[in-house]
Structure 1
Amino acid sequence: MGDRSTQLVTARFRAGYGAPLWHLLLLVGCFAVAGWVVLRLAGEATAVRMLIWFVAAVIVHDLVMFPVYAAADRALLTGTQADVGNGSRPARLSVVNHVRVPALGAALLFVVYLPGILRLGGDTFTAATGLTQQPYLTRWLLISAAMSAVSGLWLAVRRHRVRSRDRR
C-alpha cells in the first residue's frame, strides 16, 4: 500500500506544481547558489554598479533584444520552409535550424568578444596582454562564415538524402 500512496502523492504534486520533484529541488539548489553569490558580493565596493549593470542587461534583453530576435525567428519560420520531394509525395525539409545555429553561434561570439570586435578599451587590452585588438573582427567574421558554410553543406547533404530516398 505504501507504493500506491507514494505514487498518488507524486501524481498530486506533479499536477499541482506542473513538473517533477527533481525540478523543484534543482531550482532550490540554484537559488541557494545565487543567494550565496549575492552574499559574497554584498561586501564588494562595486556591488551597486554590478547590480545596476545586471538589471539594465535584463531590461535591455527582455524589452529590446527578445522581441527583435523573436520576430526574426518568426519571420524565419514562415519564410524558410523548403519543399523537397518528387511531386507525388513531397517531404518537408526545414532549413530553420541551419540558419538558427550559425546565427546563434555568431551572436554568442559577438557578445562574448564585443569589446575586441568593436575595439573598445584598446589601450587597456594592449597594456594587459601586449597584443592589439586588430584580429578580432576578422576572426569573428571568418568563424561566422565557417559556421554558416558548414551548416549550408549539411543542409545540402540532407537535401540530397531526401531526394535520393524519394527517387526509390
Structure 2
Amino acid sequence: MRRLYGAGAAHAAVMVVSFVLAGAAVLTLGVEALWNPDRWWQSIAVWFIGAAILHDLVLYPLYSLADRATRPTRTWTVRQVSVRQHIRVPALGAALTLLVFFPGVLNTDDTAIVAATGLNRDPYLERWLWLVAVMVAISVAVFLVRVLAAVRRPSPATPRGHDRTDTQGA
C-alpha cells in the first residue's frame, strides 16, 4: 500500500472519508450555493480556493521561516521538558484565531455584519485577548505539570560496562 499510494491505509481511509464528506456537502448545499453570480468575490468557492492558495503559497513559507528563525541554537529544556512546544502552541492558536476574527478584533467597518447578524463587534478584542490568555495559561499549566512529573520520576540510568576491577578478580 505504501509503495503504491505513498502513505498508509489509515491515511487513505481518512482521505476517502474527507472527499465523501465534501461531496455530500456540495450535494446538500447545491452548486448554486457555492457561487454568487452577483458578487463573485463573496462566493464560497472563491474564498476556499483563495484561502488554499494564500496558505500554501504565502502563509506556509512565512511561518516556516519564522519557525526556523526562532529555532534556538541549543535546546530550551527544563528538567528534560522542552519549552519550545509550550510557546509554539499558544502562539499558533493566537495567530489562527486572529486570522479568523481579525475584522472584529481590529474593529473594522461592521455595517455588513450588523446588517447580517444584528450583532456588533465591540467585545471581539477583549474576548480574543481572554482566549489568548487562557491558551497561554493552559500551556504554562501543562508545562509545569510535565516539569513536576519529570522531577518525580527517576532519571534513566546510564548503562555501564563491566568494571575492570570486577572482571580481573574472577
Q: Using structure 1 for the length normalisation, give the TM-score.
A: 0.67
Q: In 2, are the aligned partners of 1:105 and 1:144 still within 8 Å (CA)?
A: yes
Q: Which residue of 1 aligns with 2:108?
A: 120
Unmatched 5+ stretches in structure 2: 156-170
Identity of aligned residues (%): 40
Deviation at 1:17, TM superposition (A): 2.3
Q: Describe the SS at the equivalent of 1:162.
A: helix
Is 1:102–1:144's contact at 8 Å kept on the other side of the alignment?
yes
TM-score, normalized by length of structure 2? 0.66
**Aligned partners of 1:76 and 1:96 also within 8 Å:** no
Matched, 1:102 2:96: no
Say whether the 8 Å CA contact 1:80–1:94 is kept in structure 2: no
The C-alpha deviation readout for 1:93-141, integer Å capped at 9, x for no partner, is 2112211221222223223322211223422333445443121112211
**8 A contact 2:76–2:84 mirrored in 1:** no
- The Cα offsets for residues 27-74 of structure 1, whole Å up to 9 and x where unpaired, read as 234324334544554334517543332222222111211111112223
1:158 counterpart (136, 142, 146): 146
State the Cα RMSD in Å.
3.1
Q: Aligned ranges for residues 63-102 of structure 1 at < 5 Å?
A: 63-78=57-72, 81-85=75-79, 92-102=80-90
- Gaps in structure 1 of 5+ consecutive residues: 1-12, 86-91
Quick check: which has more Rg, 1 or 2?
Answer: 2
